[in-house]
Amino acid sequence: MSDPVLTLTAVSKSFPGVRALHDVSLSLQSGRVTALIGENGAGKSTIVKILTGIYRPDSGEIHVGGAARHFSSPRDAWAAGIAAIHQETVMFDELTVAENIFMGHMPVAATGGVDWSRMRARAADLLERIDAPIPPGLPLKRLSVAQKHLVEIARALSHEAQVVIMDEPTAALSANEIDDLFRIVEQLKAEGHAVVFISHKFDEIFRIADDFVCLRDGEKVGEGPVASVTEAELVRMMVGRPVDQVFPKRDVPIGDVVLSVEGLSNATEYADISFDLRKGEILGLYGLVGAGRTEAMQGLFGITPTTRGRVTLEGRPLAVASPADAIAAGISYVPEDRQDQGAILSLGIRENVTLASLGQYVRGLFLSRPLEIDETRHLGRRLAVKASSWEQRLAELSGGNQQKVVIAKWLATRPKVIVLDEPTKGIDIGSKAAVHEFIGELAGEGLAVVLISSELPEVMGLADRLIVMKEGRIVEEFQRGRWSAEAIVGAATGARRDAA
Amino acid sequence: MTSLIKSRELFLALILVIGVILIGSYDPVFVRWQNISDMLTETSVLFMLALAQMVVILTRGIDLSVAANLALSGFVAALVSQYYPGVPLALMIAAGVAVGLLLGMINGALVALLTIPPIVVTLGTLAVYRGMIIILAGGDQVNASEMGDVFQAFPKQTFLGLTTPIWIAIGVSILFWLFLNFTRTGRGLYAVGGNPLAARYCGISQGRQEFLAYSIAGAVSGLCGYLWVARYGVAYSEIASGYELTVIAACVIGGVSIGGGVGTVAGTLLGALFLGIVNTALPVLQISPFWQMAIAGAVILAAVVINARAEHRPDKLILPEARRLGRDSGLLRRVKA
């Protein structure tokens, strides 16, 4: 094999409380496609960010074309010949295709201004090279997602990029568009570029990639030619850790069916979501990021409209047209991004805690301040919120305490069913254990819990039953004790079942 | 000092008291009851319009059409009194309020249903409402001689030593205080402005809250329209021209955050009172009224700076020594410096 175009040697990167990458080495060959695989949070994005100059590694070296490089900004990475095509394209909608391609390095005319005609001509050349029939003068906003990807590829080529990174480029593409994209990837290979391809879809990896690098918990756990492995082996590499006994599972008697969902569907996001949920039960909802779990639960909660489906709560049919309906019926949804979707920083603790259940505190015409304070004190103490007074503004609290206030807000609605969306995302290990214990406590009190989580150990540790979603549909259901990490990840990624 | 700025109502009140004492010691006429009563009567419309504007700003909106609305509703009320002099006064006032409410509902519908940015909507309706007066009046105006006597006498009457506009402003202020602090809808206004997404998850509809806020602002503008026209005895297309900016200024001085979600009845009233005092004090101090704008402007900038400092989010507590000491400790500041 020839000398690698790019090598990472023993690269590590940590964030407060999280080890994102540990001692990872990899090398990219010219004319080959390397697939970067791993579960959510395994460290793939961190590698992309290091390669594109967004993060600086704590230790380790980057060599490009044999020379050591230090990237202190994305511009340095461009200059070294590394270009990335992102999941959601980051470009300028109001500008033309040509301007987008040459943003930051537009050709300059003798007068000192932009040489528009040369820029258009070069843009047309680049687009022709990848067989993309897009007029360079067209505003970007008139292009489809797939066409925008092509413009990004042209932009990468305009930098003479030797390494092209594609971060889940097929996520928003139709089958035909994927074929077109893969044709261009083949062409980039033929021209001698090194391509990094990140995808969760095994069929795509086996179709396009030559080599693979597998990450787990920030460490490299395998690499080699794709032809030498099977899907089952890749899944085992991705998961490969003992997951039982991470969290002590509480023994909770499981009661009657509380919530029954039948055929819940939305035109573009999810279809035929059906499940029963019992009193005291924790139902795990696992899937890859973007599998439609959050969207389906938002539909149930009335945030987004559903097109079809029947919901029954305690035997009575339930029509949810808005979150207010869901709250009134006894369904709570604790959203994933608690800062953005949960906390109102300009208001005090009391006002936040009572916001979703204000009807309970009305006496006569007006809200009763003492009733509000009682409830806030009760829940604040139960969740151990640390604050100088119950009137303190949320902006003055720490992130962890803000989260507790948001959870208190939903408990104040006295829910029968509570949906927790990634409840431990972005919090440290100590707080995680506390949240896990608390989820067990809620179930113990007879609440029915839906736990959306992308962390396998978490769902396997806590859930009584597990539903796996893939591409907007439920693909598998597992009972506690009759599941394996391999089978769950296999179902979520679409690896063949017999392989798992 | 920091704690005073935190409770900005107290801070503002303190500045007002000091100011009044200083001006009073310069010219005792200023602190005579007659002068204070005149000043409060003069400012009563500003009190009410500022509260109405605050409700809109709480939802992250702005209503530039309040003064135009005031002029049009006042004009309609004057027309009623001109052509139907036998109608009871309450009905004339109700006509003004009803027109104001309708105009406010138009703003609300455009903002909430069509989700057009509030500044664009109300900039447009401002011009439309003023234009409608010209069309209704055919370029003419309604004079004091054409309005009924009862119509004009009411704002000049006094009850228990206070004029009726002051009493009305007190009543409206109490209603706003109750509404904003002790009703679900009032709390919803703060929630929608503080974090629209979080409010939505709590079952609070942003559109409904916005519609309500502009409707309230409209109804109050209508009421003020009657008071203005009856007090000054003239109704035409240009009355209260540009007054919306004074109203917004009162809100900002009173600590209402233009970013939405923050503002109190007390603060807004003090902001309006501040401008009222400045307006009456300048002639007493023999300062040219041309300075009035500059002074109000400087105060607004000062208020915004204080607001920005108060809104500044505290640093994170990462250092172990910082966590031990806590955020409010004076020691911490020395550690940081």
Q: Which residues of A touch B202 (CB under 8 A)?
A: 323, 327, 355-356, 409
CB contact under 8 A, B261 and A16: no
- pTM equals 0.75
Interface test with A, best of B2, B201, B312 (most A CBs within 10 A): B201
Is residue A261 domain-shared with residue A235, that is, in the same domain?
no
CA distances from A262 to A245, A276, A475, B126 (A): 33, 9, 15, 51
Confidence category of residue A247, pLDDT binned at 50, 70, 90: low
For residue B154, being part of any structural domain is answered with yes
Burial class, A16, CB count within 10 angstroms (exposed 0-12 / middle 13-18 / buried 19+) = exposed
Higher model confidence: residue A388 or residue A97? A97
User: Would you say residue B95 has pLDDT above 80?
Assistant: yes
The per-residue pLDDT for range A112-121, each reduced to its tens digit, is 888 888 999 9
**Pairwise pLDDT comparison (B6 vs A339), residue with the higher score:** A339
A139 touches chain B (CB under 8 A): no
Q: Rounded distance, CA A270 to CA A452, Å?
A: 15
Per-residue buried b or exposed e for A161-171, using 16+ beta carbons within 10 Å of the residue's own CB: bbbbbbbbbbe
pLDDT given at position B123? 95
| Of the candidates B77, B220, B228, the residue with the CA atom closest to the CA atom of residue B165 | B228
Higher pLDDT, A19 or A237: A237
Between CA B68 and CA B63 the distance in angstroms is 10
Q: Is the pLDDT of residue A366 over 70?
A: yes
Distance from CA of A349 to the nearest CA of B (A): 12
Q: Is A20 part of the contact surface with chain B (CB cutoff 8 Å)?
A: no
Q: Select the residue of B201, B262, B318 nearest A346 (Cβ to Cβ).
A: B262
Q: Judge whether residue B287 has pLDDT over 60.
A: yes
Contact A356/B at CB under 8 A: yes
Q: Does B182 contact A367 at a Cβ distance shorter than 8 Å?
A: yes
Residues A340, B197: C-beta atoms closer than 8 Å? yes
Indicate whether B183 belongs to any domain.
Answer: yes
Distance of CA A105 to the CA centre of its chain: 32
pLDDT at B333 over 50: no
Domain-located, residue B331:
no
Residue matched to tokens 């329209």 = B225
A274 and A193 part of one domain: no
Q: Which residue of A has its CA nearest to B318?
A: A16
Instruction: List Cα–Cα distances, A231 to A237, A487, B77, B264, in angstroms.
Output: 10, 12, 80, 62
Domain match, A261 and A190 both: no
CB B78 within 8 A of CB B142: yes
The DSSP symbol for B326 reads -
Measured from the Cβ of residue B312, the count of other Cβ atoms closer than 10 Å reads 9
Task: Round to whole Å and give the CA distance between B122 and B244.
Answer: 11
The whole-angstrom distance between residue A387's C-alpha and the CA centroid of its chain comes to 32
pLDDT value at position A330?
Answer: 93
- At B313 the pLDDT is 55
Residues A143 and A225 in one domain: yes
Q: Which of B61-70, B100-109, B289-298, B301-310 has the lowest mean pLDDT?
A: B301-310
Looking at the complex, report in whole angstroms how far the Cα of residue B103 sits from the nearest Cα belonging to chain A. Answer: 28
Nearest CB partner across the interface for A346, out of B194, B200, B201: B194
Is the domain of A262 the same as that of A217? no
| Residue B306 scores a pLDDT above 90 | no
Cβ–Cβ below 8 Å for B187 and A344: no
Pair (A279, A184) in one structural domain: no
CA–CA dist B291, B304 (Å, integer): 20
Which residues, 6+ apart, have CB-to-CB distance to A118 below 8 Å?
Answer: A107, A109
| Ordered alpha helix ranges (H), A159-308 | 175-190, 202-208, 231-239, 293-301
Q: Are residues A384 and A427 in the same domain?
A: yes
For residue range B157-207, what is the model confidence (pLDDT) as tens digits?
888 989 999 999 999 999 999 999 999 999 999 999 999 999 999 999 999
Q: Do B198 and A365 touch (CB under 8 A)?
A: no
Rounded to the nearest angstrom, the minimum Cα separation between B8 and chain A is 15
* Same domain flag for A136 and A266: no
Question: Which band of pLDDT confidence, cut at 50, 70 and 90, is reported for residue A87?
Answer: low
**Residue B164 near residue B93, CB atoms below 8 Å:** no
DSSP notation for A351-396: HHHTGGGGGGGEETTEE-HHHHHHHHHHHHHHTT---S-TT-BGGG
Question: Is position B257 within any domain?
Answer: yes
Q: For A410, name the nearest residue in chain B, comparing CA atoms only.
A: B202
Cβ distance B198 to A342 less than 8 Å, yes or no, reads yes
Taking only the tens place, the pLDDT of each residue in A249-285 is 777 888 899 999 999 999 888 999 999 999 999 999 9
Residue with more model confidence, B191 or B12 = B191
Fill in the DSSP letter of residue A453: -
The dihedral region occupied by B323, where left means phi > 0, alpha psi between -120 and 50, and beta the remainder, is alpha
Q: What angle do CA B282, B286, B288 make, to 5 degrees?
A: 70
Question: Alpha-carbon distance A280 to A297, whole Å?
Answer: 19
What six digits make up the tokens of B136?
């209704």
Higher pLDDT pick, A349 / A157: A349
Report yes or no on B24 lying in a domain: no
Band the pLDDT of A173: cuts 50, 70, 90: confident
Q: Which domain, by its residues, includes B156?
A: 41-281
In a domain, B315, yes or no: no
Given a cut of 90, whether residue A432 has pLDDT beyond it is: no
Q: What percent of chain A stands above pLDDT 70?
A: 94
Minimal Cβ distance to B194: which of A344, A388, A398: A344
With contacts defined as CB-CB under 8 Å, which chain B residues touch A356? 201-203
Question: How many domains does the structure of chain B reveal?
Answer: 1
**Of A396-410, B54-68, B85-99, B301-315, which range is least confident?**
B301-315
Confidence of residue B127 (pLDDT cuts 50, 70, 90): very high
Lowest mean pLDDT among A20-24, B232-236, B326-330: B326-330
Residue A500 lies in a domain: no
Give the residue on B whose Cα is nearest the Cα of A398. Answer: B316
Query: Which token pair is B134?
Result: 């010209």
Residue A239 has what DSSP assignment? H
Q: Do B191 and A355 touch (CB under 8 A)?
A: yes
Closest B-chain CA to A335: B201
Cα A42–A43–A44 angle (5° rounding)?
105
Of A343, A358, A366, the CB nearest to B198: A343
Q: Which residue has the higher pLDDT, A455 or A373?
A: A373
A280 touches chain B (CB under 8 A): no
Residue in A with minimal Cα distance to B202: A356
User: Which of A132-141, B55-64, B142-151 is most confident?
Assistant: B55-64
Residue B219 falls inside a structural domain: yes
Instruction: Give the mean pLDDT of B259-277.
Output: 92
- Give the Å distances, CA to CA, from A391 to A328, A377, A380, A388: 26, 11, 12, 8
**Best residue in A301, A322, A344, A360 to probe B by mutation, most B CBs within 10 Å?**
A344
Residue B126 confidence class, pLDDT cut points 50, 70, 90: very high
CB contact A345 to B (< 8 Å): yes
What per-residue confidence (pLDDT) applies to A447?
92
**Residue A396, domain member (yes or no):** yes
Would you call A339 an interface residue with chain B, using a CB distance cutoff of 8 Å?
no
Is there a single domain that holds both residue A226 and residue A272? no
Query: Residues 395-414, chain A: which have Cβ within 8 Å of B?
Result: 395-396, 398, 409
Residue A28 has pLDDT above 50, yes or no: yes
Residue A428 located in a structural domain: yes
**Which residue range(s) make up the domain with A67?**
6-239
Q: How many beta-carbon pairs below 8 A join chains A and B?
A: 86
Whether the pLDDT of residue B282 is over 50: the answer is: yes
For B314, the closest of A323, A354, A396 (CB atoms) is A396
pLDDT exceeds 60 at position B70: yes
Cβ distance A409 to B205 less than 8 Å, yes or no, reads no
Task: Reply yes or no on whether the pLDDT at B244 is more than 60.
Answer: yes
Contact between A366 and B203 using a beta-carbon 8 Å cutoff: no
Interchain contact A188–B (C-beta under 8 A): no
| Phi/psi of residue A313, nearest 5 degrees | -120, 120
Q: Which residues of B touch A343 (CB under 8 A)?
A: 195, 198
Tell me, yes or no, whether A498 lies in a domain: no
For chain A, the domain total comes to 2
User: Which domain CATH number covers A131?
Assistant: 3.40.50.300
For residue A496, pLDDT over 70 is answered with: no
Q: Which residues, other chains included, contact A46 with Cβ-Cβ below 8 Å and sequence gap of 6+?
A: A13, A20, A21, A55, A218
Are A267 and A225 in a shared domain? no
Predicted local confidence at residue A54, as pLDDT: 85
ipTM over 0.85: no
Would the pLDDT of A122 be above 80? yes
Residues A201 and A328 reside in one and the same domain: no
Query: What does the alpha-carbon distance between residue A368 and residue A364 come to, in Å, rounded to a whole number?
Result: 9
Identify residues of B whose CB sits under 8 angstroms from chain A CBs.
Answer: 178, 181-184, 187, 190-191, 193-195, 197-205, 257, 261-262, 313-314, 316-318, 327-328
Whether the pLDDT of residue B325 is over 80: the answer is no
- pLDDT at position A90 is 66
Which residue does chain B place closest to A357, by CA atoms?
A: B202
Residue B143 pLDDT exceeds 90: no
A interface mutation test: which of B179, B195, B323 has the most A CBs within 10 A?
Answer: B195
> CB B203 to CB A326 under 8 A?
yes
- Under an 8 A CB cutoff, do A303 and B261 touch? no
> In the structure, what pLDDT confidence band is assigned to residue B151 with cuts at 50, 70 and 90?
confident
Test B198 with A362 for CB contact under 8 angstroms.
no
**Chain B residues with CB-CB distance to A347 below 8 A:** 190-191, 194, 261
Do residues A229 and A345 share a domain? no
- Does B2 reside within a domain? no
Q: What residue type is B309 in one-letter code?
A: R
Task: Write out chain B residues lying below 8 Å of A326, CB-based.
Answer: 203
- Closest residue to A395, CB basis, from B182, B203, B313: B313
DSSP string computed for A287-316: E-TTSSHHHHHHHHHTSS--SEEEEEETTE
* Residue A334 or B319, more confident: A334
Minimal-distance CA residue of chain A relative to B260: A346
Q: Which residues does chain B have within 8 Å of residue A327's beta carbon, measured at their own beta carbons?
A: 202-203
Tell which of A205, A239, A273 closes a domain.
A239
Q: Say whether pLDDT at A94 is over 90.
A: no
Of A239, A271, A299, the last residue of a domain is: A239
Please give the residue that has the higher pLDDT: either B300 or A46.
Answer: A46
Percent residues over pLDDT 90 in chain B: 55
- Strand segments, DSSP code E, in A395-490 are 417-421, 448-452, 465-470, 473-479
Query: Can you tell me the mean pLDDT for A105-114?
Result: 84
